Amino acid sequence: MVLTDQRPLLIWKKENNLLYQYNPKSYSVSQVSKLIRRSPSVVYRMIKSGDLYSRGRPVRVSHQALQDWALKRLPAIPRLFGRG
């Protein structure tokens, strides 16, 4: 599958009273639930059903997996690519 949009996911982190943007390689279930505005239990169900692939324990979801999931949805979630 070829991805047409490779822009990083925008996440803001507060450290020493400064906000800065960073792009981790993988996300926890709670981070994913905040990004896609679903509850963590829904995210776990998506992982179990195969809609969203993950690895390891504790479960980590890669940025690529989030992009693939968003591209399967119609329309794709624009804020995952920094357009929203």
Which residues lie below 8 Å from residue 69, measured CB to CB, with a gap of 6+? 46, 51, 52
Number of H helices, E strands in the chain: 3, 4
What's the Cα-to-Cα distance from 80 to each of 2, 3, 17, 28, 35, rounded to whole Å?
A: 17, 13, 25, 15, 7
**Tokens 């992009």 found at:** 67
- Which residue has tokens 């119609």? 74
- What are 4-42's pLDDT values in tens digits? 444 545 555 555 555 555 556 788 888 888 888 889 999
Which residue is listed with tokens 């776990």?
A: 44
Task: Please write the tens of the pLDDT for every residue from 38-82.
Answer: 899 999 998 888 888 787 778 888 877 887 777 776 555 555 555
- What are the sequence ranges of the domains in the chain? 26-75
